[in-house]
């Protein structure tokens, strides 16, 4: 039951090239930066990453992207990463852009064993009809486009409405960051770091959590647990210096 491993390097050692990663965080808030850096050192490439965004040019998943270790991204927002845009538009990176709520539900569904679900989001657009550019060649031609999805009509309180079928996401590995965790893998996220971390933890076949404060089993009130230990296979305790190293995506101050 003790899931604590000795280091981040040990925790990511078996992530193979070509693996799919579900990565927690929103912008730079709650990202598993220590595990990402360990994976950068480990050397795996041709990765497919599922994350709300891809960090920034020099932090978070952006470090793996800059090293050209990511082959494909499934995400909902990429606007703060110039290298991401460059690789996508030059044909070096495949990108599946997904509405943010749909992405969250696809990850949650994968973690709960639901293979697919219907949603109203995207009906009547290319999200449902297909044709969104997933990958370009180096001349700017679309060589991979999104497929058309099944659309069905269901009765609702507002009457008949159309819904599009979206498939769940299950990743080989989930990488998350928690404010507090115990040796059994029960995790607590602090404030807005509750973003995509619980979902990434759920949909990873093997989930690795870096925790800022490691406590003993029983020290976390069960009512405060955000991710139960059943979803977590490995726990990495951060040093105080690692826990404090948090970047700000955009600093705005008064004049």
Measure Cα distances from 25 to 47, 102, 131, 215 in Å: 18, 16, 29, 22
**Position 250 in a domain:** no
Planar angle of CA 106, 35, 175, nearest 5 degrees: 15
What's the N-to-C CA distance of the chain in angstroms?
53
Residues 89 and 22 grouped into a single domain: yes
Residues 82 and 188 grouped into a single domain: yes
Q: Which of 167, 187, 204 is the last residue of a domain?
A: 167
**What whole-number distance in Å separates Cα of residue 89 and Cα of residue 86?**
5
Please list, residue by residue across 172-184, b when 16 or more beta carbons sit within 10 angstroms of its beta carbon and e when fewer do. bbbbbbbbbbbbb
Residues 94 and 181 grouped into a single domain: yes
**Position 1 in a domain:** no
Q: What is the CATH number of the domain that holds 211?
A: 3.40.1080.10
Residues 67 and 178 grouped into a single domain: yes
Beta-bridged to residue 51, according to DSSP, are none
Alpha carbon 65 to chain centroid distance?
14
- Domain membership of residue 17 as a residue range: 8-113+169-244
Residues 70 and 109 grouped into a single domain: yes
Q: Which of 167, 201, 234 is the last residue of a domain?
A: 167
Looking at residue 117, its pLDDT comes to: 98
**Position 86 in a domain:** yes
Residues 17 and 60 grouped into a single domain: yes
Residues 47 and 108 grouped into a single domain: yes
Looking at residue 248, its pLDDT comes to: 84
**Position 202 in a domain:** yes
Total number of domains constituting the chain? 2
**Position 253 in a domain:** no
Question: 181 and 209 in contact (C-beta within 8 Å)?
Answer: yes
Looking at residue 223, its pLDDT comes to: 97
Residues 185 and 158 grouped into a single domain: no
Residues of the chain with pLDDT under 50: none
Q: Where do the H-state alpha helices sit in 2-81? A: 8-11, 33-42, 61-66
**Position 187 in a domain:** yes
Model confidence pLDDT, tens digit, residues 179-223: 999 999 999 999 999 999 999 999 999 999 999 999 999 999 999
Planar angle of CA 185, 188, 193, nearest 5 degrees: 125
Residue 6 structure tokens: 């000795």
Name the one residue in this structure whose structure tokens are 């852009």. 97
Name the one residue in this structure whose structure tokens are 């076949």. 205
Residues 55 and 150 grouped into a single domain: no
Q: Which of 143, 167, 191 is the last residue of a domain?
A: 167
Residues 90 and 151 grouped into a single domain: no
**Position 73 in a domain:** yes
Looking at residue 80, its pLDDT comes to: 79
**What whole-number distance in Å separates Cα of residue 85 and Cα of residue 89?**
6
Residues 63 and 121 grouped into a single domain: no
**Position 80 in a domain:** yes
Residues 137 and 198 grouped into a single domain: no
């Amino acid at each position: 039951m003790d899931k604590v491993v000795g280091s981040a390097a040990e925790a990511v050692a078996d992530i193979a090239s070509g693996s799919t990663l579900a990565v927690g965080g929103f912008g730079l808030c709650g990202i598993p930066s220590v595990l990402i850096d360990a994976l950068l050192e480990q050397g795996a490439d041709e990765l497919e990453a599922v994350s709300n965004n891809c960090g920034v040019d020099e932090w978070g998943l952006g470090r793996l992207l800059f090293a050209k270790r990511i082959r494909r991204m499934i995400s909902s927002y990429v606007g703060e990463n110039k290298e991401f845009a460059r690789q996508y538009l030059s044909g070096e990176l495949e990108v599946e852009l997904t509405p943010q709520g749909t992405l969250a539900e696809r990850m949650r569904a994968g973690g709960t064993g639901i293979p697919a679900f219907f949603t109203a989001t995207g009906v009547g657009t290319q999200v449902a009809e297909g044709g969104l550019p997933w990958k370009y060649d180096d001349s700017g031609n679309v060589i991979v486009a999104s497929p058309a999805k099944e659309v069905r009509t269901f009765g609702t309180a507002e009457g008949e409405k159309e819904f599009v079928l979206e498939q769940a996401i299950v990743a080989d590995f989930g990488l998350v960051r928690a404010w507090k965790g115990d040796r059994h893998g029960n995790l607590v996220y602090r404030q807005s770091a509750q973003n995509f971390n619980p979902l990434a933890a759920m949909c990873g076949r093997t989930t690795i959590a870096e925790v800022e404060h490691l406590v003993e089993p029983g020290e976390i009130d069960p009512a405060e647990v955000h991710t139960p230990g059943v979803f977590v296979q490995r726990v990495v305790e951060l040093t105080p210096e690692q826990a404090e190293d948090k970047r700000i995506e955009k600093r705005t101050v008064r004049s």
